[in-house]
Amino acid sequence: MARTSARPATPLLVRRLQALALTLALAAVASSARKIPDSITPISRDLYHSSDSILREIKALVARNSDRLTMDTVRASNKGYSAEMFVVTFNHAKGTVDDGSKIKIMLSFGQHGRELITSEVALSLLYVLTEKRRIAGVDLSSFEKILENLVIKVVPMENFNGRKLVEAGELCDRRNGRGVDLNRNWSVDWGKKEKDYNPFEEDPGTARFSEPEAQIMQELSKSFKPHIWVNVHSGMEALFMPYDHKNTTPDGAPSQLMRSLLENLNRRHFQDSCLVGSGGGAVGYLAHGTTTDYLFDVAKVPMPFTFEIYGDEKASTDDCFKMFNPVDKTTFDRVINKWCMAFLILFEEGLRILPGSQVASQGALDNWVPIGGEILERIADQKSGSENRQLEGLDLGMQELKTYFRLFMLSTFLLMFMFCSRISKNRNRESGNF
C-alpha cells in the first residue's frame, strides 16, 4: 500500500496556534513578574494582620470599651485622590469633663506603608490600655493612676492606601496611594532635595499639604493641640527629636526638656541602647518637609518625637519586609512588648517632666477644623445612623448657605461696579458739555 503524507495545516490553524503560544508565553511572563523572588521575604501572614482585620479588631475593641474609647473616621480628598483615616481616642474617665489638667498625647503609626510592625504595636497598645493585655514582667495596675491623667489619640494606620499597595505585593513602597511620601509633604523646608534624593522614596508631592492624609493630620494638630506627639516608624531603633531638616536640635528650655525625657526613657527601658538626638543629626541624612519639624516650629507642640522601633541591618536593601519588620514570632513578640512598655514609660515621664504651665486647656478636644478646598468629613462611629444623617444634612445646609453668601457678595460687587461705572460715564458727559 502506498504511504500517504500528512496533510499540511491550514494557514488559519497555524495562526491560531501561534496566537495561543504567544498568549501562554505572555501569561507566563506576567506570572513570573508577580511572583516574589525566593530571595525576597514575603509578608508573614501568620504574624501580621491585614489592614482590614486591624480595623475590625479596633472597632470591636472600641465597642467593648465604650467607657474609655471612641473612634472617628475622617475622610479628605484633593484633585481626585481620597484618603480615609481612623482616629481612636482613649480617655480613662470619658464621662468626666476635661478640666484642662490632662496631658494630651498623639501617637501616629503606619505613615509609611511598608512599616507594618508599627500598626501592630498600635493595636497591641490599645489592648494594653483597655483590656490590660499582659506585658511580661510588668504590673499594669501601677500605671492606672498615670492613665487617669491622660487623653491619648491613636492613628493606627495613617497611610491606609499605601499599606494596601504593600499588602498587594509592593513590599518596598512607603508612599501613599498616589506616590507621595507623607513624611515629606509638610510645610517646613518643603520640597528641598538632597544630592542623593530618590523620588521613589521621598517624593514631596506637588505642594505643601497636597495630600489628604497630611491635611487630616495637620488639622488634628490644630484641633487636639497635643503636648506630646510621636510619629512611629521602623528601620532602626532610635528616639528622635527635632530637627530633621538640619543637623541640630532647637535652642533653649524646650529642647532640654525633650532631650531629658528621651534620655530618661532610653536609660530606664532600653539600657541606653537607642540612638537619641535630632533626626537630621543622628540618622545619617537630612529630611525636608517632615511631620516632626512642622509640629515643633509651626504647630508649637511642646514635645514632638519620631520613634524608630525596629530594623534589620543585615537584610538586603531589596528585602524590604525583612528590613523593616520582624519575620519570626519570637522577635515579633519581643518588639511588641518592648515598645508597648516604652509608651507606658513615655506617658509616665511626660506627666512628670512637663511644666504645669504647659498643661492647660487649649481648646475642645474634638474641635475639628475644616481644611478648605475640598471636603473634610468627620464621622463619629459611636453616633447612630440618624444622628449622622442629621449632621450630614446640617453640613450640606451650611455649605449651601456659604455658597449663596459668596454669590450674594459677588453679585453685590458687580452691581456696585456697574453703578460706579455709570456715574463715572455721566460725569464725563457732563464735563464734556462745558
Query: Would you state the pLDDT for residue 100?
Result: 73
Query: Would you state the pLDDT for residue 93?
Result: 74
Query: Would you state the pLDDT for residue 426?
Result: 58
CA distances from 48 to 78, 84, 103, 321, 434 (A): 31, 21, 32, 11, 90
Query: Would you state the pLDDT for residue 316?
Result: 95
Count of other CB atoms within 10 angstroms of residue 30: 10
CA distances from 385 to 59, 256, 379, 388, 389 (A): 16, 48, 10, 5, 6
Name the grid cell of 211: 495630600
Residue 150 has pLDDT above 60, yes or no: yes
86 with 107: CB under 8 angstroms? no
DSSP code, position 175: S
Q: What is the largest CA-CA distance in the chain?
A: 128
Strands (E), 12-155: 69-78, 81-91, 103-109, 150-155
Q: Can you give the length of the chain in residues?
A: 434
47 with 39: CB under 8 angstroms? no
Residue range 223-266, pLDDT digits in tens: 999 999 999 999 999 999 999 999 999 999 989 999 999 999 99
pLDDT higher for 202 or 5? 202
Give the residue-averaged pLDDT of 85-94: 90
Q: Is 109 exposed, middle or buried (0-12, 13-18, 19+ CB in 10 A)?
A: buried
Residue 29 has pLDDT above 70, yes or no: no
Confidence of residue 36 (pLDDT cuts 50, 70, 90): low
Confidence of residue 209 (pLDDT cuts 50, 70, 90): very high
Name the grid cell of 192: 528641598
Residue range 41-88, pLDDT digits in tens: 999 999 999 999 999 999 999 999 999 999 999 999 999 999 999 999
pLDDT higher for 250 or 30? 250
Residue 425 has pLDDT above 70, yes or no: no
129 with 68: CB under 8 angstroms? yes
pTM of the entire structure? 0.77
CA 244 to chain centre: 17
Count of other CB atoms within 10 angstroms of residue 333: 14
Strands (E), 13-80: 69-78
Long-range contacts of 408-417, Cβ-Cβ distance < 8 Å, separation of 24 or more: none
Name the grid cell of 344: 507606658
pLDDT higher for 411 or 187? 187
- Grouping H, G, I as helix, E, B as strand and the rest as coil, residue 199 is helix
Mean pLDDT of the chain: 83
Report residue 327: phi and psi, to 5°.
-115, -5
Give the residue-averaged pLDDT of 346-372: 60
Query: Would you state the pLDDT for residue 376?
Result: 54
